[in-house]
Chains A and B, each alone.
Chain A
Amino acid sequence: MNSKQLAWLIRRHCVEMTHLSGGSHIGAVLSVADIMAVLYADILQYDPLKPDWDGRDRFILSKGHAGAALYAALAECGFFDKTELKTHYQNGSRLSGHVSHAVPGVDFSTGSLGHGLSVAAGRALAAKQDKKAFRSFAVLGDGECNEGSVWEAAEFANHFRLGNLVAIVDYNHMQSLDFCNNTLEVDMKRRWEGFGWQVREIDGHDRNALRQALIDTDNPENKPTVVIAHTVKGKGVSFMENDLLWHYRFPHDGWEYNCAVNELHNSIPDGVEDPYTPDGCPEIKPEPENCRHTVSETHHPTYYSREVEEK
């Protein structure tokens, strides 16, 4: 499967998973979908039949709230049966909202932001000490970079010249309550450069650019590499794009679900079949004003998304 096909399937699975479960974070899942697709289709070394294979590349989704994207990628890559994706958030399931290592192919659980890069750095250091060839990857959120522990890890990784460590920032420019720059203004690129990392800044929905940035991160100084991937929160479903509401809201029955699915169908790649609605959904007229009064069951019913603009 190529990364274009995988990216589409990740988006489709995740629309279904959040729709069925009332789960949050579809916006973050859609923004990271191309990154996950390129990693699992083109970059990471792994064996779905032997998830613990010692030669595998190590991967941590540090922005654990986008767990659905990882689960969808793993299921499509053969780590477990795709039908299990429908159990996301359900009683008795192993597919928790945030990433769980109970799931085949996941070896590190996340959910509290700012943990993943340190652990990935520890794995990279161990590989270096033991002269193992694998690379250690971590995908971080941009809001996650508010956490001080990210910068403790950044400093550490540079000092120990962890050239086998690769961080990818899913830079969708939005976090929980507002745009990143309205929350804590920062120059993302200069910040990583300041910590001594090899920095690559690309369009995080350009899968060729992602592939080019990730395929070879070796450098003579053994610097760790960060790929700052500019993305769009909610990418692929027009009414979810750049709208904070969809950080928490899930696609409800009716126009939200149908329109999301049909929009995805407009760009379905060759060789891919929609596993849920192969012929798309009945057309329903969008009523975006009505979706502002009910939100995900995981949040307080009075939660009301503030419409924001980047300053």
Chain B
Amino acid sequence: MRDTVIRELISLGKENPQLEIVTGDLGFGVLKPFWEALPDQFVNAGIAEQNLTGVAAGMALEGKTVFTYSIGNFPTMRCLEQIRNDCAYHKLNVNIISVGGGYVYGSLGMSHHATEDIACLRALPGVTVICPGDAAEAKLAVRALAENPGTGYLRLGRGGEKHVNKSITEFSIGKAYLIRPAKELPKKVAVFSTGAILEETARACDLLEARGIGVEQYSFPTVKPIDKEVIGDCAGRFDNIFTVEEHNVVGGFGSAVAEVISELGQSVKLHRLGIADFYCSEVGTQAHLRDLVGISADKIAESVSAAI
């Protein structure tokens, strides 16, 4: 996902000499192809995210399309006020790329767990929040963000994610994508996910189908603006909707879906799967921590089965 995005940025940068990447001294091995291909459009601002984001705002004020780049919480929470006051308020085309959404850097410890970023960025007026589920979504999303005039957030996994969204050929900001329609079975549910947890979610849906449960699965690469149409449609056709996110359940994707459902006045029940509002101090790989907090494929399938 990471490398796909950088390749796409090289194409975009060649098309538009006003496109810039500003990194906070991260992206070893990842950003190198861009740096080599477009050295005049690449800035390493050092380990100083507040300045980096302010500089990006200044460059965007002068007409540039800027992508800031770092990992985990560094390009978001460390400089949230610069994103708010300098970028979002001025409606500047600054797009924040964070590699390592969720538990990508699980073993590195809590500082590197990006688990509240969606909530923070989603709260900022006018900021587009995109969490691609796989490389196919990411490739199209980065182009959409470059062309979108305002401030955006692109939350990436790390790389090596399975290609799940096979139907996607175009990307519209704010659109959810159908991964599989529900088979007409006595028991059926809708499952929504955002971000790289798509792969686990898809495997969970396989397990559920094998157990005779019909699953309609959607990937929501855009958390903000959220696809109200798909949510409304599913709320009318299903008794149970599940959201899956590698993020705290407070304020994130599940909350965004809950906000829509609560205003529909329908009886559908929403189940939010994610991190149950705690910090994880146990050391582990991404797969280990996903399982620990209940969002591995097995645990997702268990939760869905138990709930219906």
Contacts and interface: CB of A to CB of B under 8 A. Distances in A.
Nearest to B48: A152
Of the candidates B45, B51, B64, the one having the most CB atoms from chain A within 10 angstroms of its own CB is B51
B86 A115 contact: yes
Contacts of A239: none
A149 B54 CA distance: 9
Given A108-B61, A122-B57, A152 B90 contact: no
A126 B64 contact: yes
Of the candidates B46, B62, B89, B90, the one having the most CB atoms from chain A within 10 angstroms of its own CB is B62
B40 interface: yes
Contact of B56 (A108, A114, A122, A136): A122
B59 A125 contact: yes
Of the candidates A101, A112, A126, A160, the one having the most CB atoms from chain B within 10 angstroms of its own CB is A126
Given A108-B90, A149-B51, A153-B54, A122 B46 contact: no
B58 A156 contact: no
B82 to A, nearest CB: 6
Contacts of B296: none
Of the candidates A115, A121, A130, the one having the most CB atoms from chain B within 10 angstroms of its own CB is A115
Interface string A94-134: 00000001000001111110110111111111110110000
A288 interface: no
B53 interface: yes
A42 interface: no
B13 to A, nearest CB: 13
B55 interface: yes
A198 B55 CA distance: 20
Contact of B85 (A107, A115, A121): A115
A120 B50 contact: no
A118 B85 contact: no
Contacts of A153: 51, 54-55
A126 B45 contact: no
Contacts of B60: 122
A118 B55 contact: yes
A121 B55 contact: yes
Interface in A241-274: none
Nearest to A60: B58
Interface residues of B toward A: which range? 20 to 34
A118 B62 contact: no
Interface in B45-96: 45-46, 48, 50-64, 81-82, 85-86, 89-90
B38 to A, nearest CB: 12
Nearest to B41: A129
Contacts, number: 92
A156 B89 contact: no
B61 A152 contact: no
Contacts of B62: 122-123, 126-127, 130
B61 A115 contact: no
B43 interface: yes
Contact of B86 (A119, A124, A159): A119
Contacts of B50: 114, 118, 148-149, 152
A155 interface: yes
Contacts of B61: 58, 107-108, 119, 122-123, 126
A156 B59 contact: no
Contacts of A122: 54-62
Interface in A148-175: 148-149, 152-153, 155-156, 159-160
A194 B52 CA distance: 21
A107 B89 CA distance: 12
A118 B40 contact: no
Contacts of B85: 109-112, 115
A126 B59 contact: yes
A152 B25 CA distance: 13
B90 A109 contact: yes
A121 B90 contact: no
A118 B51 contact: yes
Contacts of A58: 61
B267 to A, nearest CB: 44
Of the candidates B53, B55, B82, B86, the one having the most CB atoms from chain A within 10 angstroms of its own CB is B55
19 contacts: A108-B86, A109-B89, A112-B81, A115-B82, A115-B85, A118-B57, A119-B57, A120-B58, A121-B54, A122-B56, A122-B57, A122-B61, A122-B62, A123-B59, A125-B58, A126-B61, A152-B46, A155-B51, A156-B45
Interface of B: 40, 43, 45-46, 48, 50-64, 81-82, 85-86, 89-90
Which 8 A-B residue pairings sit nearest by Cβ, starting from the closest?
A122-B58, A118-B54, A152-B51, A126-B62, A152-B48, A122-B55, A149-B50, A119-B58
